[in-house]
Amino acid sequence: MDKPIPNNFLNDLKSYKGGASNINGVDKIFKLSSNENPFGPSESVINAYNEAAKDITLYPDPSNSLLIKKLSQFYSINANNIICGCGSDEILHLLARAYLSGNDEAIVSENSFAVYPLAIQASGARIVRAKEVNFQTQVNSILDLVNNSTKMIFIANPNNPTGTLVSYQDLTVLHKNLPPKILLIIDEAYIEYVNDDYSSFISLVEDNNNIVVTRTFSKAYGLAGLRVGWAYCPDEVIDVLGRLRIPFSVNSTAQKVAAAAVDDQNHILKSIEHNNLWLPKIKKELDSLGYLTIPSHCNFILFQVSDNLSFDANYVFNYLCSKGIILRQMHEYNLPDFLRVSIGNDEANNFLIKCLKELSQ
C-alpha cells in the first residue's frame, strides 16, 4: 500500500530524552536531573507572570521587541542582531536547517549536548565528533576534522553534560583558523555560572560574519518551563533566521516574564553564590566517597561510578530514586558508568550527601 514516506535521513533520528521527573510511590522528590535553578524565578518575575496572564487571549508580539530591547540595553549590543526563540534549542535547529544539507558535515565535541546531533541529523547532514581529552573539548581535534564538506561547528561553553570550559584564547584560535564559510556556534547556556576569567564571544559577533552566540533563560534565570532563548547573530544570519522562524514561537507571557527577569539581576547573583557554595562541596563529598568527578563550570557535576566501588551507576541511580532523589543517567550520551547531579537547594543537597554516605557504608 502506498503511503507518505519521510526523508531517509530521518530513519536513524532518535528523539531527545529529558531527565526523569517523577518516581512511583515516592511523594517527596528532589529532582536533580535537569540543571534547573533550585530557587526558581524571583518574586518580581512571578508578579510579572501573573500580570502577563491578563493578555493571554492576544497573539504575542512576533518581533519580541520588549525582550530584545531589554537584552540590547543590558548587554550593550545591537538589537537588530538579536533573535529570540522557544528556548535556544529552536534557534539551534533553525541554524542547522538554514545552513546544512545532505552533503554537508557539522562538527561537535565527543561528549556534546545531545540537541546538536539531533539538529544536524534532522537537516540530513553528517555528524562528525571531535575527540576530547579528559572530557575537555580539543580545538586541535576540531581543526583536524575540518574539510570542504564542513559547514558548521557547535561548541557548548561551558559544556553540557561534562561541565568543562574551553578558554577564550583557544576559541579565538579555533575561529581564526576556520575557513570563513564555516559557521561557528558558541552555546553559552551556562555562562552565568562561570567564575574563571572568560569573556563571552558576543563581543566578536558584530566584527565577523560566521559566529553565532546562543543564550537561554532556562538555567540561571530559572525559567525552563517558559522556554525562552536568544541568539546574537551577524546581519546575514539574522536575516535568514528571521525569514525561517515561526512568527509566534515565543509566547506573550514568556516574552514579558523574561524581560522582567533581566531586570532582576540580584536573583541571578543569589543563584550564582549558591552554586559557588555547593558545587565544590558536593564535588568534595563525591571524591571522598570514591567517585570520579569531572571539574565543572556549570550548576551540575558529572561523575563516574568507578570499578573500585562495590556497586555500579544503575544501582546508585535506583538507590537514590528510592530515597526520592533523581539524578540524570548518561546512557543517552554513551556514558553508562556516569551520572550527572544538578545543584539543588540546601535541603536537597544535604539530603543527597546523607544518602550517598549511607550507600557507601
Note down the domain range covering 278: 8-40+266-360
What type of residue is 119? A
**What CATH number did the domain enclosing 130 receive?**
3.40.640.10
Are residue 228 and residue 179 in the same domain, yes or no? Answer: yes
pLDDT band, very low/low/confident/very high, at 310 (cuts 50, 70, 90): confident
Write the CB contacts of 350 (distance below 8 Å, at least 6 apart in sequence): none
pTM summary value: 0.92
227 and 285 in a common domain: no
Strand partners, 340: 302, 328
- CA-closest candidate to residue 42, choices 263, 273, 344: 263
163: left (phi over 0), alpha (psi -120 to 50) or beta: left
How many structural domains compose the chain? 2
**Same-domain status, 222 and 281:** no
Grid look-up 530559572 returns 222
Residues 235, 92 share a domain? yes
Domain for residue 155, yes or no? yes
Shared-domain flag, residues 209 and 280 = no
CATH number of the CATH domain containing 321: 3.90.1150.10
127 falls within a domain: yes
| pLDDT above 80 for 252 | yes
DSSP state string for 182-247 = SEEEEE-TTGGG--SS---THHHHTT-SSEEEEEESSSTT--GGG--EEEE--HHHHHHHHHHS-T
Indicate whether 20 and 148 sit together in one domain. no
* 346 found inside a domain: yes
Note whether 34 and 84 are same-domain residues: no
Shared-domain flag, residues 330 and 293: yes
* Ramachandran area for residue 6 (φ above 0: left; ψ -120 to 50: alpha; else beta): beta
Per-residue confidence band for 4, with pLDDT thresholds at 50, 70 and 90: confident
Query: Does the residue 89 lie in any domain?
Result: yes
Q: pLDDT tens digit string along 73-130? A: 999 999 999 999 999 999 999 999 999 998 999 999 999 999 999 999 999 999 999 9
Instruction: Identify each DSSP E strand in 63-182 by its residue range.
Output: 82-85, 105-109, 126-130, 150-156
Residue at which a domain ends, from 263, 289, 322: 263
- Boundary of a domain, candidates 263, 290, 312: 263
Pair 36, 154 in one domain: no
Burial status of residue 334 (CB atoms within 10 A of its CB: 0-12, 13-18, 19 or more): exposed
Identify the pLDDT of residue 11.
72
Do 66 and 103 belong together in one domain? yes
Q: For 280-289, how does the pLDDT look when each residue is reduced to its tens digit (9 = 90+)? A: 999 999 999 9
**Co-location of 66 and 169 in the same domain:** yes
Whether residue 1 is contained in a domain is answered as no
Supply the pLDDT for residue 3: 78
pLDDT at site 147: 97
Query: What is the number of other CB atoms lying within 10 angstroms of the CB of residue 59?
Result: 10
* Strand, helix or coil for residue 343: coil
Boundary (domain end) residue, out of 220, 237, 263: 263
- Claim to verify: residue 137 and residue 278 sit in the same structural domain: no
